[in-house]
Amino acid sequence: MIPGGGQPNMQQLLQQAQKMQQDLQQAQEELARTEVEGQAGGGLVKATVTGAGELRALRIDPKAVDPEDTETLADLVVAAVQAANENAQALQQQKLGPLAQGLGGGGIPGLPF
């Protein structure tokens, strides 16, 4: 039962929605600044992405470069980028998950969780 005649306090609801929107925007900005790394081949290839999934750097150890076998190098690059993106998604869930739960637990459309 809602006190006060059954009408929710619209001003209070709007303030809560604005705060949640600000918190979400702040978390997204923090994700864009935070970098995470993924690696493959025992560290021969390392990829760095932001928490938002933007590829920032790719480091390839010279030992991984074999002109006769570029396919393996390509596989290592793909695996390192995928590992970095998985780490970014875990960071997204850590940062944005509590905010999504605050929105009723149904998640936020367009976010990967």
d(CA 83, CA 65): 20
2, 8 Cβ separation under 8 angstroms: yes
27, 13 Cβ separation under 8 angstroms: no
21: number of CA atoms within 13 Å, CB side? 6
Residue range 26-42: average pLDDT? 90
CATH of 32-102, picked from 3.40.50.1000, 1.10.3720.10, 3.40.50.10330, 3.30.1310.10, is 3.30.1310.10
What per-residue confidence (pLDDT) applies to 27?
84
Tokens standing for residue 90: 């875990």
What per-residue confidence (pLDDT) applies to 32?
86
DSSP 8-class letter at 112: -
Question: Is the pTM of the predicted complex or chain greater than 0.75?
Answer: no
